[in-house]
């Protein structure tokens, strides 16, 4: 890599380093609901989304170019007083070759967390999620946050966070339209980088119930690295809520994307073990299954969703044990989650037991011998060992 390329990479890190990402699900208490934008829990909303991220040393020297569109699916739910938006992309259409990998990864569900005041807290993902994908979700979450309350003239200033640091955002509210402009950064994560806001303009349109109908956000940030060079970051995010007919069409896409297994027809020829496991996996990857299991963990405790959550968890669990038997490389992702003592520890230990392969047994033996693991989890690992 050239010296200029290294500096661009450092500048990119200076812009993105502050992404707030968690892999656990320990939520803190929030205050009473006071957000300008409201989300109806229990419903799924679908938005047509256009994303554009550019970064380079000038308009012609582009080091990063992400350009794609798709359908942003959002399922709001509450935990404590915080708002959790389960979010994923469907029908993704990358507009250039560099966007194909990211478009595929954005199909996996993540969880955006907001305080009851509307302030964005961060992105909750499985530990295996790619860093840049985490940063894309971070940008979306920061764009749809609206914290604080308008004064009698419909104006106010709020301190909010994005991937760079904490900024002062100037807001206006006129009828159903909310405007935001980043005025200045109050504190930043990278002290050696100097930031300037070249352009910052966001307009959120609400309906009469204060639910988000559209977003048009554009910003240009310049970062200078100790006077050596300047890197320009351009971000544009557009959302438009789909109407009933469009939303039903997107539901069909979601249903086809999340189908795990198609039952065999009576009289169908029998399959060998590997073929059965491929059918059980249903074309899914371990990352997809972990996201489903995490989603089910979030749903438990809300009585109206317990039964459906358990059904999803059961299907995902069957797919996971099949994937662990099909490819030993899948075991590495599970082992990494266990090493981090993630929220799915006991579920994954049970899946390793039911997978029943020698490689799975090796991981169980390692976990049973850990002194830093919770006693209940160590017992679960020990019970899974075959004598």
Least confident of 90-94, 169-173, 210-214: 90-94
CATH number of the domain encompassing residue 129: 2.30.230.10
- Indicate the residue among 243, 263, 296 that finishes a domain: 243
Tokens of 361: 């047994």
Cα 19 from Cα 274, distance rounded (Å): 40
**Residue 299 belongs to a domain:** yes
| Per-residue model confidence as pLDDT tens digits over 162-183 | 888 899 999 999 999 999 999 9
Cα 50 from Cα 135, distance rounded (Å): 16
Q: Measure the CA angle with vertex 265, ends 262 and 267; round to 5°.
A: 150
**Residue 263 belongs to a domain:** no
**Domain check: are 234 and 323 in the same one?**
no
pLDDT at 145: 94
Cα 387 from Cα 383, distance rounded (Å): 10
122 or 156, greater pLDDT: 156
Give the total residue count for the chain. Answer: 387
pLDDT band at 299 (very low <50, low <70, confident <90, very high): very low
**Domain check: are 209 and 110 in the same one?**
yes
- With 60 as the cut, is the pLDDT of residue 29 above it? no
Q: Tell me the sheet residues that pair with 52.
A: 67, 236
**Residue 251 belongs to a domain:** no
Mean of per-residue pLDDT scores for the chain: 77
Over residues 217-221, the mean pLDDT reads 93
| Per-residue model confidence as pLDDT tens digits over 319-336 | 888 888 888 888 888 888
pLDDT at 18: 45
Over residues 217-237, the mean pLDDT reads 84
- Indicate the residue among 221, 243, 265 that finishes a domain: 243
Least confident of 139-143, 226-230, 258-262, 347-351: 258-262
**Domain check: are 106 and 179 in the same one?**
yes
| Per-residue model confidence as pLDDT tens digits over 239-277 | 999 986 555 554 544 443 333 323 333 333 334 567 667
CB atoms within 10 A of CB 28: 10
Q: Residue 240: phi, psi to the nearest 5?
A: -140, 120
pLDDT at 168: 94
**Domain check: are 56 and 174 in the same one?**
yes
CB 338 within 8 A of CB 349: yes
CB 159 within 8 A of CB 127: no
pTM: 0.62
**Residue 217 belongs to a domain:** yes
Question: Looking at the 3D structure of the chain, how many domains does it have?
Answer: 2
- Which structural domain, as residue segments, surrounds residue 305? 279-383
**Domain check: are 304 and 165 in the same one?**
no
**Terminal Cα distance for the chain, rounded:** 53
* H/E segment holding residue 142: helix 131-144
- With 80 as the cut, is the pLDDT of residue 107 above it? yes
**Domain check: are 356 and 297 in the same one?**
yes
pLDDT at 56: 80
**Residue 106 belongs to a domain:** yes
Over residues 30-49, the mean pLDDT reads 78
């Amino acid at each position: 890599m050239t010296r200029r390329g290294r500096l661009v990479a450092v500048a990119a890190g200076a812009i993105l380093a502050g992404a707030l990402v968690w892999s656990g699900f320990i939520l803190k208490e929030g205050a009473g609901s006071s957000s300008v934008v409201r989300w109806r829990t229990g419903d799924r909303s679908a938005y047509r989304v256009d994303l554009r991220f550019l970064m380079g040393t000038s308009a012609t020297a582009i080091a990063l170019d992400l350009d794609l569109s798709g359908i942003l699916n959002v399922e709001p739910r509450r935990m404590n007083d915080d708002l959790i938006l389960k979010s994923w992309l469907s029908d993704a259409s990358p507009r250039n070759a560099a966007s194909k990998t990211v478009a595929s990864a954005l199909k996996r569900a993540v969880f955006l967390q907001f305080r009851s005041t509307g302030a964005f807290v961060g992105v909750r993902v499985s530990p295996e999620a790619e860093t840049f994908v985490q940063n894309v979700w971070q940008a979306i979450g920061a764009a749809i946050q609206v914290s604080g309350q308008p004064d009698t003239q419909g104006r106010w200033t709020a301190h909010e966070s994005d991937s760079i640091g904490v900024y002062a955002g100037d807001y206006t509210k006129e009828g159903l339209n909310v405007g935001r402009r980043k005025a200045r950064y109050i504190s930043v994560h990278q002290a050696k980088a100097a930031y300037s806001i070249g352009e910052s303009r966001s307009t959120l349109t609400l309906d009469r119930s204060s639910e988000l109908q559209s977003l048009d956000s554009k910003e240009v940030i310049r970062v200078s690295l100790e006077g050596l060079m300047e890197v320009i970051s351009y971000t544009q995010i557009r959302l438009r809520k789909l109407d009933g007919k469009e939303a039903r069409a997107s539901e069909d896409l979601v249903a086809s994307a999340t189908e795990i297994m198609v039952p065999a027809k009576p009289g169908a020829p029998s399959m060998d073990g590997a073929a059965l496991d491929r059918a059980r996996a249903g074309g899914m990857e371990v990352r997809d299954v972990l996201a489903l299991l995490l989603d089910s963990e979030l749903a438990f405790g809300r009585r109206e969703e317990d039964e459906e959550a358990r059904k999803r968890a059961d299907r995902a669990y069957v797919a996971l044990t099949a994937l662990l038997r099909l490819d030993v490389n899948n075991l590495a992702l599970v082992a990494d989650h266990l090493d981090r003592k993630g929220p799915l520890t006991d579920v994954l230990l049970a899946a390793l037991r039911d997978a029943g392969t020698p490689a799975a047994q090796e991981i169980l033996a390692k976990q049973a011998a850990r002194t830093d693991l919770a006693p209940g989890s160590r017992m679960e690992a020990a019970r899974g060992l075959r004598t």
